[in-house]
Amino acid sequence: MDKRWSLQGMTALVTGGASGIGHAIVEELASFGATIHVCDISETLLNQRLSEWENKGFQVSGSICDVSSRPERETLMLTVSKMFDGKLTILVNNVGVVRLKPTTEYVADDFSFHISTNLESAYYLSQLSHPLLKASGFGSIVMNSSVGGVVSMECGSLYCLTKGAMNQLARSLACEWATDGIRINSVAPNFILNDMAEPHLEDAGYKKSLFSRTPLGRAGEPKEVASLVAFCVYLQLHILLVRPFVLMEVSLSMVSHISDRLEPYLCVCFLIICLCK
């Protein structure tokens, strides 16, 4: 394997890694040699995945964690620190939840559920992982956000709110922690086929509306997002930080001829790259 594309010797924590996009991310990073710790809220599913990964020869361990819980987040990071001798190369904040409702029907519990799971977990796990990432000398954080955090999309105002906040968190941390050798990027997928999203495709009207605004005319696959996350990791290890910029307009500009209004036309995935001097 070309050493430029190897993750041998690298350590990673992937949240929500037993299913969907998280599962694909674990397999992608592990296939390039990374040693990974996975957390998930489902003990049954996690144990099943750990058995599968062991059979594939992947170096993956796991623990049960509800990332919306502060005590469980702290316990998770203590576990990771002990396992990787106080150093962590990669953190993938992947966990995400959605309750799709009209804004007028959301209640306080819905708000807390989205904020604590999607946003608080990413914020505090990034904070808790900072000393481990800094100790590695070239730490990398990847936020699994959503295109709904970039443009208007029918996936619930609370979900979009948290994903937009994750993108801004990535930009802020990229500048603040660059001098610590830690790089932060955000991947913003469009509709991806997984257990959380697939039930919405049963609504023929929703499916037609979604695909009509997607140039490829289909939903994305988890492995496509995983490849982009891996690209972010490689980019982090080899790129020279020069100036702040956000790379996300390119995907929209490719379809700008379709209409003067760009927002409805969504590509399979945006990549928000946050580089700070």
**Residue 9 amino acid letter:** G
Rg (CA), the chain: 18
Residue carrying structure tokens 């209409």? 259
Kindly report the length of the chain.
Answer: 277
- Residues 277 and 241: their CA atoms lie apart, in Å, by 6
Tokens of 44: 């049954």
Positions marked catalytic: 159
- DSSP states of 145-210: --GGGTS--SS-HHHHHHHHHHHHHHHHHHHHSGGGTEEEEEEEE-SB-STTTGGGGGSHHHHHHH
- Residues 23 and 165: their CA atoms lie apart, in Å, by 24
Tokens of 80: 């990771």
